[in-house]
């Protein structure tokens, strides 16, 4: 008997697909068929996902042909035969590679960056207020802020933002044909190789130049730049758009939230849990026979984590399908778990906090310019989000 096809699109933008919930309630380890036709396991319980992501017998290597990609046609290896990305490294290669960059993303470094993030957010809101109404919040703010911040951190010219934003979107789109996906990775690599070679000749005050100064070779720095650039703007952008939409739809909660800026960090954490936008991102390949949740997973089997479903488990988060801005729970999987947990998570927290706080303070009459039901959600991407968010405001 063939396994049921894994449903990927959400029926409701704010809740996991019913199929995933059923799998979670039936033990949490289920056999599924991927869009490519290959079979894999889907893990849908928080404790089991944490267990899997902490177990070194599960490999992160996206170049492995058994890696459970969600693309309709299996994509080419993201490394393109070149250096692997940090997110695909296994022990013992992963720890030293990650340790080489952690210092750039510590809590203290991110706190020091906040004044500059604030300036960037204020400049984008100035531009919105001076521009036409309605405006697309995704372009004007959601994508612009994290792109500007990651560009400054990496020393990438923001004038090239259209180039990397459109290519990142193509990589994350599930239906992008494999040739196009391969060509897109190659174009980004070529762009970043030229950029990094420029920094070899003329170092700047940025993460990539410091990696080179510390002895990393050009190819390693290009691989790091590729990962940080792609992961550093699209994810946060989607959380900004989803957060703004959700808060605008709940005016009483929004009023409560902005009445005290100290409430924002917990609210950001709850929005991260509620949407868990990297809902399939923590997939693995078993490199040995492993028992998980009473099920034997064979060496070579692919395993997909249904993180959004796990983060909506009422046994872990009471009334899990409700957005409770003061829930105060940080044990969600929005940033993953295990040694690969998001390197930029504290940058994302800082950006979301500053964007929401500043936007609703400076644009108190901000509202949707279309009915909420017409907002186009990204059911076609591997990272959940919103394509366009038309908003307007009073002068």
Partner 1 sequence: MKILLDEEKCVGAGQCVLAAGDVFDQRDSDGIAVLLDEHPGQERSGAVETAAQLCPAQAIRIEKG
CB closer to partner 1, 198 vs 339: 339
**CB 165, CB 58: distance < 8 Å:** no
Compute the least distance from the CB of residue 335 to partner 1, in Å: 8
Compute the least distance from the CB of residue 345 to partner 1, in Å: 6
CB closer to partner 1, 168 vs 346: 346
Compute the least distance from the CB of residue 92 to partner 1, in Å: 11
CB closer to partner 1, 26 vs 106: 106
DSSP string, 100-114: HHHGGG-HHHHHHHH
Torsion of CA 388, 149, 229, 88, to 10 degrees: -110
**CB 342, CB 54: distance < 8 Å:** no
Place of tokens 């366009």: 388
What phi and psi values does residue 38 have, to the nearest 5 degrees?
-70, 150
CA distances (Å), 53 to each of 48, 64, 284, 310, 339, in order?
9, 17, 8, 13, 8
SS3 284: strand
CA distances (Å), 392 to each of 128, 133, 140, 244, 365, in order?
10, 6, 12, 13, 8
CB closer to partner 1, 189 vs 332: 332
Compute the least distance from the CB of residue 110 to partner 1, in Å: 8
**CB 228, CB 344: distance < 8 Å:** yes
Which residues are at the interface with partner 1 (CB under 8 A)?
A: 53-54, 95, 98-99, 102-108, 330-331, 335-343, 345-346
CB closer to partner 1, 95 vs 296: 95
Compute the least distance from the CB of residue 318 to partner 1, in Å: 17
CB closer to partner 1, 41 vs 335: 335
Please, how many CA atoms are within 13 Å of residue 105, restricted to the half-sphere of its CB? 19
Query: Which of 157, 151, 363, 339 shows the shortest CA–CA distance to 247?
Result: 363
CB closer to partner 1, 102 vs 213: 102
Helices (H), 161-263: 161-172, 178-201, 207-213, 218-248, 251-258
**CB 383, CB 390: distance < 8 Å:** no
Compute the least distance from the CB of residue 102 to partner 1, in Å: 3
Compute the least distance from the CB of residue 106 to partner 1, in Å: 4
CB closer to partner 1, 94 vs 124: 94
Q: Beta strands 39-43 and 302-305: pairing type?
A: parallel
CB closer to partner 1, 47 vs 380: 47
> From the centroid of its chain, how far is CA 251?
27
Compute the least distance from the CB of residue 282 to partner 1, in Å: 11
SS3 70: coil
Compute the least distance from the CB of residue 362 to partner 1, in Å: 27
């Amino acid at each position: 008997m063939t396994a049921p096809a894994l449903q990927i699109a959400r029926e409701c933008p704010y809740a996991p697909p019913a199929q995933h919930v059923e799998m979670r309630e039936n033990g949490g380890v289920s056999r599924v068929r991927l869009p490519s036709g290959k079979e894999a396991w889907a893990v849908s319980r928080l404790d089991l996902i944490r267990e899997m992501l902490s177990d070194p017998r599960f490999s992160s290597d996206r170049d492995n042909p058994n890696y459970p990609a969600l693309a309709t046609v299996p994509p080419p290896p993201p490394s393109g035969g070149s250096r692997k990305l940090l997110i695909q490294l296994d022990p013992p290669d992963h720890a030293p590679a990650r340790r080489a960059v952690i210092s750039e993303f510590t809590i203290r470094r991110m706190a020091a960056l906040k004044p500059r993030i604030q300036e960037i957010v204020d400049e984008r809101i100035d531009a919105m207020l001076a521009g036409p109404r309605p405006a697309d919040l995704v372009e004007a703010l959601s994508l612009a802020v994290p792109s500007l911040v990651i560009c400054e951190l990496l020393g990438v010219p923001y004038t090239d933002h259209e180039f990397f934003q459109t290519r990142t979107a193509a990589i994350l789109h599930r239906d992008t044909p494999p040739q196009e996906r391969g060509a897109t990775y190659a174009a980004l690599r070529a762009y970043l190789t030229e950029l990094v070679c420029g920094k070899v000749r003329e170092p700047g005050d940025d993460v990539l130049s410091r990696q080179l100064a510390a002895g990393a070779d050009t190819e390693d720095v290009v691989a790091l730049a590729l990962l940080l650039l792609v992961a550093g703007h699209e994810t946060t952008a989607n959380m900004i758009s989803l957060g703004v939409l959700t808060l605008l739809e709940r005016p009483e909660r929004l009023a409560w939230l902005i009445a005290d800026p100290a409430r924002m960090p917990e609210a950001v954490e709850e929005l991260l849990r509620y949407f868990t936008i990297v809902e399939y991102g923590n997939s693995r390949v078993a490199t040995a026979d492993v028992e998980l949740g009473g099920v034997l997973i064979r060496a070579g089997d692919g395993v997909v984590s249904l993180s959004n479903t796990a983060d909506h488990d009422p046994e872990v988060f009471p009334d899990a399908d409700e957005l409770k801005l003061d829930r105060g729970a940080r044990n969600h999987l929005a940033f993953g778990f295990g040694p690969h947990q998001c390197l930029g998570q504290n940058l994302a927290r800082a950006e979301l906090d500053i964007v929401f706080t500043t936007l609703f303070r400076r644009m108190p009459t901000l509202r949707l310019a279309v009915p909420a039901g017409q907002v186009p959600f990204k059911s076609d991407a591997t990272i959940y989000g919103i394509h366009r968010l038309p908003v307007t405001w009073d002068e």
